[in-house]
Amino acid sequence: MGARKVELNSIRRQALPSCTVIVCTRRRPQELRRCLESLRCLRYPEHSVLVVENDAASTESKAIALGNGAGYRLCTRRGLSAARNFGVRMSTSELLAFIDDDAVCEPEWLVAAVPLFASDRVLAVTGKIIFHEDSTLDSAPVSTFDPGYRIVGKETPDWFSMANFGGLGMGMNSIVRRGAFNIIGFFDERLGRGSFIFGGEDHDLLFRIIDAGFQVATCPGSIVRHHVENLGISKDTFKTVTASSAVFTMLAVEHPRHLPKLIRYVWEAVQRKPQPWRNRSPRLFHDVESRWIVWSALASGPFIYFWSALRAALSRNNRRCPAGG
């Protein structure tokens, strides 16, 4: 019986693809330490952890990473998407998993999700996220994002809205097949924390995967716990609303063939129409004190998008020009 168990474990190890867990961090030593401690408990045979510190010069996370058996790299290009792309380029595994530095994972995080990659059409798997108001993650959960079990492709009704507006998951709990980046490109560095458009980089990646004819799977047994700030008017709230408006503009400008789907989503959101994958509050922005701040953030979105697009175009042109030309 013991020999049989060893044989099954050997087969399981061979069947599971190699995976690198990429943790992007910036000036959060306590949170990073807690994240890495949870990753040390992962029940997954062939995996490694890579910490990417996203700072101009700081290396305060290096000792924490090395002390927890993780690799370490410094990415001086600002922005979460840039740091994730840097981590992807520094890795050689078949799968790449992403978790935030202020999150912790359950031991079965990877092993629960990875079997969904059995189909070659599945390029990404996302999971369940439990949010805690206490930064130590010891308090009772305040909310949960549970995507259920789905395999979503172009044949799925409402796939466009699900991918772009949060129905399929978030970057803090996602696993991506390495080949996906060769097919659809990397995270859009105009998007995400540290860039002009404060978020949306994870949703954009899932959208491009499905738009290219592939699939995204969701796994409720793949669980990450994450800290969430109190809701209300703040600098981050303004950035988040502005980012949403900028993403709407980006979709309309860069993917005009999907404009009817985008208009329908916006109209249904204004009407507060319920979705199978999203529960909408009957009152728009009912938790926000100042409507003026919300509407000014919404109006800022298009300007932020066009400014980020202009900067990206100028950056590409500068890279093409030879020195002294």
Q: What is the pLDDT of residue 296?
A: 81
pLDDT at residue 233 above 60?
A: no
Lowest-pLDDT choice from 58-67, 177-186, 266-275: 266-275
Between 66 and 198, the higher pLDDT residue: 66
Q: What is the pLDDT of residue 14?
A: 53
Residues 6+ apart with CB under 8 A from 47: 18, 19, 20, 21, 93, 97, 110
Q: What is the mean pLDDT of the segment spanning 71-94?
A: 95
> Model's pTM, two decimal places?
0.86
Number of H helices, E strands in the chain: 11, 10
The per-residue pLDDT for range 98-151, each reduced to its tens digit, is 999 999 999 999 999 999 999 999 999 999 999 998 877 788 888 899 999 999
Find residue 177's DSSP bridge partners.
Answer: 95
Query: Are residues 202 and 169 in contact, defined by beta-carbon separation less than 8 angstroms?
Result: yes
Here the tokens at position 53 are 């510190």
Q: 66 by DSSP, 3-state: which?
A: helix
The per-residue pLDDT for range 140-186, each reduced to its tens digit, is 888 899 999 999 999 999 999 999 998 999 999 999 999 999 999 99
Distance CA(221)–CA(209), nearest Å, equals 22
Domains of the chain: 17-227 (3.90.550.10), 235-314 (no CATH)
